[in-house]
Amino acid sequence: MKIRAVRGTRDILPDEIPAWQTLERAAHGLLGRYGYREIRTPVFEETELFARGIGAETDIVTKEMYTFDDRDGSSLTLRPEATAGIVRAVIEHNLMNTDPALKVYALGPMFRRERPQKGRYRQFHQLDVEAFGLTSPTIDAEMIEVAVAYLEACGVRQHQLVLNSVGDQHCRPAYVETLRTALREHAPSMCGDCQRRAETNPLRVLDCKVPDDQKMIEGLPKITGHLCADCRDHFAEVCRQLKLLGIPYRLSHRLVRGLDYYVRTTFEILSGELGAQNSVLGGGRYDGLVRDLGGPEVAGTGFAVGLERLALLMPAGESEGRCDVFLAPLTSEALDPALVLQRDLRQAGVRAMLDPEGRSFKSRMKQADKLGARFVAILGDDEAARGVWTIRDMERSEQEDVPEGRILEHLKEKTNG
Ligand code: ATP
Ligand code: MG
């Protein structure tokens, strides 16, 4: 029986890697300029962390987690998102003590047992960006600025920012009750999921995608009209700063996001080019989370980018040659000098390769071509007798003799090694 990759997982093959390296480099470069430092946390954690951190009633926790018993009976879970683990690490290592405005980011795989389809996998990757200890609306706006700048740095031009405020502990509970009451009237006609959510987590009804429910949802009371003065001011300032920074956005009172921990600002960036899975990144403010997970009372804001979806949106790069100099020792005596030259070139920073299988001259030239080699260095009987290498310039279709003693310097100069 053939063993295949597990359903919902995928290999990122060498041809796709340039895009991934570009998006990783862009993350390190851009986030460094905004004062973020990288953090790496484990891919599995105690199940309790996610149950508490994400919310027991969320889809992720009720349906999508990869949870298993360890051999000692403790319950572990493959992380479905990065924030909970990062918050755990921030608390465990008292990072807030040394850095009252802590800015960190992480790159890595996440695991959710969802129905696999284009842009939706069971193992997928995220870039996760988090700032702790900052309550000002300025950080919400900056977070959004970073998110947009990151997509632009990856070459993504078509995107749409959607923004909302979901209130806080002062105004949201009353709104949720209003919503629950309003939903009771509609209960019989709603989809099954919404009937359940109407009782357990009414806010989640707002991002139901079932077509028949849309009209009812549009008629529900909107959070926008129920924000307290502080939340209203905070949101107005976020919007003002986005305008100042020239970042266009669309308001949507239905953007509540899937995780329970959000307060005030929530945002998402969508792309029409992604089809049904159109959200490339999402985030917001989560001021109570650190406290809820046993840490100090510090604010948090952040977002997560889905890297598979981002890679789909990135423009195809020029495929780059993999080799500067292809060495062609044509006789068995030529092998040793070729091996030494190959090592010396590589040490000098030149990408050098040779064909250790000793195939025909023609097939070696074909190989050099396929690897995108700019030069081929040939050493046959004729060259050996004259103490030279033949250097063929593949771009210009020219060749010249270069004395043995000068060959390394010559190739280094030609390739800027
Ligand atoms: P969606 O609405 O697509 O289910 P989400 O709200 O569950 O997204 P978040 O938890 O906010 O997503 O994660 C942030 C980003 O991670 C998403 O915008 C998306 O790009 C990506 N993402 C989430 N789940 C998956 C998945 N199963 N496969 C691939 N990417 C995903
Ligand atoms: Mg989801």
Task: State the ligand closest to the CA atom of 281.
Answer: 1
Q: Rounded to the nearest 5°, which phi and psi values hold at 170?
A: -85, -40
On the question of pLDDT at 417 being above 70, the answer is: no
On the question of pLDDT at 398 being above 90, the answer is: yes
Structural domain contains residue 9: no
Structural domain contains residue 183: no
Judgement on whether residues 92 and 158 belong to the same structural domain of the protein:
yes
Q: Rounded to the nearest 5°, which phi and psi values hold at 227?
A: -70, 145
Q: What would you measure as the largest C-alpha separation in the chain, in angstroms? A: 96
Q: Which residue in 144, 122, 14, 135 sits closest to 78, CA to CA?
A: 122
Could you say which DSSP state residue 331 is in?
Answer: S
Non-local CB neighbours of 14 within 8 Å, separated by 6+ positions: none
CB-CB contact of 107 with 125 (8 Å): yes
pLDDT over 90, % of the chain: 81
How far apart (Å, rounded) are the C-alpha atoms in residues 343 and 321?
A: 19
CB-CB contact of 283 with 303 (8 Å): yes
Q: Which residue in 300, 304, 265 sits closest to 91, CA to CA?
A: 300
Atom of ligand 1 nearest to the CA of 259: 10
How far apart (Å, rounded) are the C-alpha atoms in residues 252 and 177?
A: 20
Bridge partner residues of 103 (DSSP): 131
CATH number at residue 97: 3.30.930.10
Tally the domains of the chain.
Answer: 2
**In which domain, by residue range, is 238 found?**
17-171+227-313
- Cα(277) to centroid(ligand 2), Å: 9
Mean pLDDT of 403-416: 95
Task: Tell me, using a 6 A CB cutoff, whether residue 150 lines ligand 1.
Answer: no
CB-CB contact of 50 with 98 (8 Å): no
How far apart (Å, rounded) are the C-alpha atoms in residues 83 and 97?
A: 19
Judgement on whether residues 306 and 412 belong to the same structural domain of the protein:
no
Atom of ligand 1 nearest to the CA of 126: 16
Judgement on whether residues 129 and 259 belong to the same structural domain of the protein:
yes
State pLDDT tens for residues 330-380: 999 999 999 999 999 999 999 999 988 878 999 999 999 999 999 999 999
Q: What is the pTM of this model?
A: 0.91
**Please, where are the H alpha helices in 94-228?**
95-98, 137-153, 172-186, 192-200, 214-218
Structural domain contains residue 26: yes
Last residue of a domain, one of 281, 313, 345: 313
Structural domain contains residue 8: no
Structural domain contains residue 189: no
State pLDDT tens for residues 208-219: 888 898 899 989
Residue 93 in tokens:
């290592």
CB-CB contact of 384 with 333 (8 Å): yes
Structural domain contains residue 286: yes
Task: Tell me, using a 6 A CB cutoff, whether residue 120 lines ligand 1.
Answer: yes
Mean pLDDT of 86-107: 95
How far apart (Å, rounded) are the C-alpha atoms in residues 26 and 129?
A: 13
